[in-house]
Amino acid sequence: MATSTIDLTLPYTTRVKDALGNKHLKVALERSTGRMAGQRVAAMGAVDAPRLRNQVRLMKEYVLRNLPDLLEQLETNVTANGGHVHWAKEAVDVQRIIVEIARKANVQKVVKAKSMATEEVHLNQALQAAGMKVVETDLGEYIIQLAGEPPSHIIAPVIHRRVEDISDIFQRELDMPPTLDPQVICSVARGVLRKEFLSADMGISGCNFAIAETGTCCIVTNEGNGRMTSTLPRVYVVVMGIEKLVPTIEDAFLQYQALCRSSTGQQCSVYLSMTSGPRKPGDADGPEEFHLVLLDNGRVDMLAKGYGEALCCIRCGACLNVCPVYKEIGGHAYGSTYSGPIGAVISPTIHMEVTDVDKLPYASSLCGACRDACPVKIDLPRMLLELRRDVVEEGDTGMFDRAGMQAFSRMMQSRASYESAGKLGSLGSNLLAGLSGGNIKFMPGPLAGWTNSRDFPPLAKRSFRQQWRDRVKGRKVIGADDKA
């Protein structure tokens, strides 16, 4: 397997620099994000989108308010169906639980359907360390597994690669003859993966939603790999973040509708696989053993810390496709399993090791395009603002920033100091601008971050308030000061 050139543990600034300097990434993102965003707009536009978004939002809020009861209801029903439910508090617990299940069932080979939850807890590495072969079967996940790379998008894990790059990877790793035809590339993958499915002992998937009232785990896929993962191997394990719960079958289809339309812009996916426990006598297929692992990994803390709204997320990736920051830097620059605006909120609040995680809430211009695109109406800009407040309150900010902000606040608290600063600024900036004939081309210190690429205008020679005072001179007006 190839060694990846993508290192998520590098510092934030390095990750961003690498991403912005990667011309192929720019092409790949340009090709995909715009298309996905357009498809979402069309698919949501075909239904009463405000109503759908309201309904899903209210349902998710109900779930979060009733989380303990609903989880226990789910456990009761999964158990009644003959499945086993495991409660995993942290990432290591998921790893331990699934390695134990695999050892007991004498598992040699694991096939996996796409799952962000298992990425989050680094399950593959744990299974491999325990001596098992793990094969990703979602095409995108399979490609990045061959390349040794982490996913860079919630639903399109290989969005950072162009078809040209994917062809190179397949030629190198699978001896595929040179081609850029996606059909040919797909059929090569299908040929390899079919053999893996038939010889696998265990299937692992995530869970798009689980229905509490029936004990049913649902996965939404377009390639059929999910169906084979859940039905062919002897043992089937589902890993589910505890927020992926829905109360009823009707709610499941509500979330399904929002998910398909917002993620890939489909009316419905090609496959919706629903598993309610292991194979029963007389069933044509299905696993002999069924396990559901409920994953917390900080989600309960998110609720307690006031970031519970992010648990309404149904992982559609719509916020990534419209985010002007994501469109420039892609997913890896975020350094986390979860990227884009939702990743910048989840990563600092969930229990994950992410290098420079404090920088993520600042990786946004707070433009709000994410909130408009979100099918659950998560107020991501507001949460990013609150996370920034937390970063500052915890003192994880530069001394310079703090001193600067305190000075700024003091200066703005007094009209006299504001006006003096303005006069000084006008003098200084006009001097700087004079040097470069019109606009300021260079500013010192941290302000160079502006003038590296942009000019800045000098301050006005006479401020608005100075002009205003002249205008109202001698008249008695409301709001005027003694200088008028």
Partner 1 sequence: MTHKKQFDSPPKRVALFVTCMVDMIYPEVGMATVELLERQGVEVIFPTEQTCCGQPAFNAGFWEEARPLARRFVDIFEPLVRSKQVDAVVAPSGSCTTMTSHFYRLLLQDEPAYQERAEFLGAATFELTEFLVDVLGVEDIGAHFDGVLTYHACCHLNRELGIDRQPRTLLAHVEGAEVVEMTAADECCGFGGLFAIKNSAISTAMGQRKTQNIVKSDADAVALCDVSCMTHINGLLSRQGQRVRAVHIAQVLANQVDVTPRAERAPETKPPASPRRWQDGKA
Residues from 369 through 408 that contact partner 1 (CB under 8 A): 369, 371-372, 382, 385-393, 397, 401-402, 405-406, 408
Nearer residue to partner 1 within complex by CB, 282 or 474 = 474
Give the residue, chosen from 281, 413, 444, 474, that forms a contact with partner 1 under the rule CB under 8 A. 413
Contact mark string toward partner 1, 111..140, x via CB under 8 A: ------------------------------
| Of 112 and 371, CB closest to partner 1 | 371
Map the footprint of partner 1 across residues 328-357, applying CB under 8 A: 328-329
Does residue 365 bind partner 1 (CB under 8 A)? Answer: yes
Q: Are strands 84-88 and 202-205 parallel, antiparallel or unpaired?
A: unpaired
Q: x/- site string to partner 1, residues 278 to 297, per CB under 8 A?
A: --------------------
In the window 308-327, what residues touch partner 1 (CB under 8 A)? 324-325
| Cβ closest to partner 1, residue 77 vs residue 364 | 364
Degrees (nearest 5) of the Cα angle 353, 217, 284? 130
**Nearest distance from C-beta of residue 31 to partner 1, angstroms:** 15
**Site for partner 1 (CB under 8 A): which residue of 14, 422, 428, 430?**
422
In the complex with partner 1, the residue whose CB is nearer, 279 or 469, is 469
Quick one: 222 or 397, whose CB is closer to partner 1?
Answer: 397
Of 3, 177, 281, 464, the residue at the interface with partner 1 (CB under 8 A) is: 464
226 CB-side CA count, 13 A: 21
* 17/84 with CB nearer partner 1: 17
Which of 280, 461 has the CB closer to partner 1? 461
Single out the residue of 10, 426, 428, 442 in contact with partner 1 (rule: CB under 8 A): 426
Number of residues in contact with partner 1, rule: CB under 8 A? 74
Examine residue 57 and tell whether it contacts partner 1 (CB under 8 A). no
Residue 450 near partner 1 by CB under 8 A: yes
Which of 250, 446, 470, 473 is the binder for partner 1 (CB under 8 A)? 446
Among 418, 420, 435, 473, binds partner 1 (CB under 8 A): 418
Q: Give me the residues paired with residue 293 across strands.
A: 86, 239
Question: Between 175 and 393, whose beta carbon lies closer to partner 1?
Answer: 393
CB 252 within 8 A of CB 34: no
User: Cβ 455 to partner 1, closest distance in Å?
Assistant: 4
CB atoms < 10 A from the CB of 385, how many? Answer: 13
d(C-alpha 157, C-alpha 137), whole Å = 12
| Contact between 457 and partner 1 per CB under 8 A | yes
Quote the crossing angle between the two packed helices 182-199 and 163-174, to the nearest 10°: 50
Say which amino acid occupies 296.
D
